[in-house]
Structure 1
Amino acid sequence: MLGIFIERSAMQLSPSIFKAYDIRGIIDETLDPSIAKLIGQAFGTEMRELGETDIVIGRDGRLSGPSLIEALTEGLLSTGINVIDLGMVATPMVYFAANHTINGKTPKSGIMITGSHNPPNYNGFKMVLGTAAIYGEKIQDLRKRIEAKKFITGQGNRSSFDIFPMYLNYIVGDVKLARPIKIAVDCGNGVGGAFAGKLFRALGCEVQELFCEVDGHFPNHHPDPAHIENLQDLIKNLQTTDNELGLAFDGDADRLGVVTKDGQVIFPDRQMMLFAKDVLSRNPGGQIIYDVKCTRNLASYVKEHGGEPIMWKTGHSLVKAKLKETGAPLAGEMSGHIFFKDRWFGFDDGLYTGARLLEILSKEKNPSDTLNNLPNAICTPELQLACAEGEPFALLETIKANAKFPSSESINTIDGVRVEYADGFGLARPSNTTPVVVMRFEADSKEAIQRIQAEFKAVLLAVKPEAKLPF
């Protein structure tokens, strides 16, 4: 039943909320229900112009979610779009619903209201328009439409649907474990906590839940498994129980973190090796897409197992688009977004990725040994150089045009500058979401990392002498 949306005095539209891959802002500073309604009007108009009439929407567990989803719905309905409200769900469930017949409709578009791994006072919108994730200029087009107030009017209908039983049955019908595995699951009080335990128990696992009560305050730790400090509770659990493996999810459950019995974190670029080997066993010669931040060991591992590695730009929407363009059976990026087209639908889904991981590891007597034995290298975490707004892109263009890296073998410029060496790589790329230059280094030895970093330091200081480098 449609809730009552009380019209507030309209907040001024801030261009800053229109990011590279989504729309995201701070509640009551740059984002409120009045903005959500405008986004609904703009998106609904875009749908109507494509001939689309039906959309699925959902929200995560953030405190601002209920008011934003009501306002978004009002905006969509006002353009003549029929809205199927999934309620509180994980982001991949919205994507899943947009691939299925729901309430007799086949919606090809979806909007998820989520702040993902951002602090509690953030929220935002991840969007699929006519089966395609929208990003870049398409998101800016929504902004321009709102500013021009170019909206189609109509009257749509609203219905609701519980997607989880269909989603659960599909995964349980597809993924088969060779034996039960004892796992600990840490959802960081994100929305994945409402579903992860049920899913993995249905697959036959014995599950211990950590922080799986959905709480938009995130009282225990930040729901972001990309940062090791957020995995300490999971590491401690594995050390003090008989659980074999730890799985962690971000705030909207589209990314997976993995911890072994001995407390090692298996970052997504190494997870991709395991998935690539499995996927290539059914898709010989298949292309495997990965982003510029991933280990160079991944490309050689893919080749060893009969696949074609393709390095691509960072950004879940960009990787998803590349997967769709190429027809590759698997893609992934260092941030933890993994995309299975093999046996799945090509969207990023941390819960399904966890299920596929358990399917592979259930064939092993010691899952942690299998994970720890994947090729590894000495590497830095993601390092960031703070810049002025707009500066990172100009900085990298200057580096591309002029920089010299004396001991390098090759330079890749599809996304910033990734310099390959005989014994490692260095990366500097402009972030699409914040005004920073993102850097990462990997090598066969500490001496090699220091040499590579010294070359990057010389290049960076040549174009920005006052830079306070994080290495």
Structure 2
Amino acid sequence: MDLSCFKAYDLRGRVPDQLNPALAEKIGRAYVEITGARKVIVGYDIRLSSLDIAEALSSGLMAAGADVFDIGLCGTEQVYFATSHYKMDGGIMVTASHNPKDHNGMKMVGPESRPISSDNGLNDIRDRVLEPFGDAPEQGCYEPLEVMSAYIDHLLGYIDAASLTPMTIAVNAGNGGAGLVIDELEQHLPFEFVKVHHEPDGHFPNGVPNPILPENRAATADAVIAEGAAMGIAWDGDYDRCFFFDENGRFIEGYYIVGLLADQFLRKTGGGKVIHDPRLTWNTLDLVEAAGGEAIESKTGHAFIKQRMRDEDAVYGGEMSAHHYFRDFAYCDSGMIPWLLVAERLCQSGQTLSSLIDARIEAYPASGEINRTIDDPPKVIAAIEAKYSVGAKNVSHVDGVSIEFDDWRFNLRMSNTEPVVRLNVESRADIPLMEEKTEELLAEMQRLTEEG
């Protein structure tokens, strides 16, 4: 049996050879045996194979004795929400997010929507799939569960609706599921939505929704400019990440959104802890300190960030990859809460999004994440560290290596999920220095690779 769909954090694979209904049924059984769950939320995304896989998964869960609460077509965050809100034993989302359209996958959580990863049960579920199964003495029940209204109420609880004023927002669901939520929220908000690629369609007629790819950004940017929108928002397929465009149609690096959301959140809470990843940090540290909060660095990746948020009781956590986490959202990531907070900030401040962001880019210009495929990443990272740690102000190994000088810093790390190294460079108000050091590091990595 091909179990290559089991990854470090979730399941992802091509349908039908790496993931199919027969395997999904076994995964359901294994999930119950390993976790002991008795009440499980199941949801699925807009992919053409998702319903069949979700139905087979549910059959396996029930055969093993668990009750299935089917929340239907949704985004990953609705599974997180329903699992914690209704105090279920676990939840499984059938999705492959932004992977190619012939792929599918699953994201699994336990009680309180705690992530199930390779180090806390996912590998055990994978290994259990290989053994024979018998049916539970008592089969589980099936029940459809309507969560949209409770979820919408929860989302609206993050903002002061009375402070909102009319504005135009371009929204691009990428033919994923986000449009369904926008249609519901629209009834409660004074905004006019310009809807791009809005209808859910698993054929992905406009390409797979992944706004992190530059070629996928034009449709949102063009709509912002054509309609004179105050901002643009684009989501990936299961909308657990959202991406922002300012009123000029410019794509905004996720790094600067983390600082903006931390600031907005701390203004509401009057302080608290904020978790951030180590790739780019100075802008976040600056804003969190100014807003009376405490910034705490965590290893990159949702399982690490969520655990650290729980440990610290942090109000918000952000990664530059456009994942944003909220304490009141079971410490989980949401692609809907961030844009509501940014829209609220625009209404309350009367500022444009570009004016809020420009000052931060000027203060801390950054390279953005640069990926390079390298044969021997550990060797290259070690050599870079040996060279650059000489005379450095600080060297940290929270995730890969971060090396800091007075006026610039960088982080170099191996991807958790792909055979690449990722470089991020930033400076203090010095774009030429940031660009020079970025080129210098890339050239050094190239030289070391060719030598190796």
- TM-score, normalized by length of structure 2? 0.91
* Matched residue, 2:219: 233
Please give the residue correspondences for 1:157-306 in structure 2 after superposition, counting only pairs within 5 Å. Answer: 157-177=141-161, 178=163, 179-306=165-292
CA contact (8 A) 1:176 1:203 kept: no
Question: Number of aligned pairs?
Answer: 443
Unaligned runs of 5+ in 1: 1-11
Q: Which amino acid aligns with 1:130?
A: P
**Displacement after TM superposition at 1:91 (Å):** 0.9
Please give the residue correspondences for 1:68-467 in structure 2 after superposition, counting only pairs within 5 Å. Answer: 68-101=53-86, 106-131=87-112, 132-138=114-120, 139-149=122-132, 153-154=136-137, 155-177=139-161, 178=163, 179-341=165-327, 343-376=328-361, 377-387=364-374, 391-392=376-377, 394-395=378-379, 398-399=382-383, 402=386, 404-406=388-390, 408-443=392-427, 444-451=430-437, 453-455=439-441, 457-458=443-444, 461-462=447-448, 464-465=449-450
- CA distance change for structure 1 residues 149 and 398 in 2, over 3 Å: closer, same or farther? farther
- CA distance change for structure 1 residues 174 and 307 in 2, over 3 Å: closer, same or farther? closer
* Matched residue, 1:30: 18
Moved more, 241-250 or 196-205: 196-205
**Displacement after TM superposition at 1:279 (Å):** 2.1
* Matched residue, 2:48: 63
* Matched residue, 1:7: none
Unaligned runs of 5+ in 2: none
**Displacement after TM superposition at 1:149 (Å):** 4.5
Write the distance in 1 (CA, Å) between the matches of 2:157 and 2:292: 28
Write the distance in 2 (CA, Å) between the matches of 1:240 and 1:133: 41
**Displacement after TM superposition at 1:269 (Å):** 1.9
Q: Which amino acid aligns with 1:136?
A: S
Q: Deviations over 1:319-348 (max 9, x none)?
A: 11211121100101011110121x543211
- TM-score, normalized by length of structure 1? 0.87
**Displacement after TM superposition at 1:30 (Å):** 1.3
Q: Deviations over 1:178-228 (max 9, x none)?
A: 212211110111111222232144222111111111111221143122233
Q: Which amino acid aligns with 2:118?
A: G
Aligned-residue identity in percent: 30
Write the distance in 2 (CA, Å) between the matches of 1:403 and 1:371: 37
Q: Which amino acid aligns with 2:31?
A: F
Write the distance in 1 (CA, Å) between the matches of 2:146 and 2:442: 51
Q: Which amino acid aligns with 2:95?
A: T
Write the distance in 2 (CA, Å) between the matches of 1:304 and 1:238: 31
**Displacement after TM superposition at 1:402 (Å):** 4.8
Q: CA RMSD in A?
A: 2.3
CA contact (8 A) 2:62 2:141 kept: yes
**Displacement after TM superposition at 1:83 (Å):** 0.4
Instruction: Confirm whether residue 40 of structure 1 aligns to residue 25 of structure 2.
Output: no
- Describe the SS at the equivalent of 1:257: strand
- Describe the SS at the equivalent of 1:202: coil
Write the distance in 2 (CA, Å) between the matches of 1:143 and 1:403: 42
- CA distance change for structure 1 residues 197 and 245 in 2, over 3 Å: closer, same or farther? farther
Instruction: Confirm whether residue 20 of structure 1 aligns to residue 11 of structure 2.
Output: no
**Displacement after TM superposition at 1:460 (Å):** 6.7
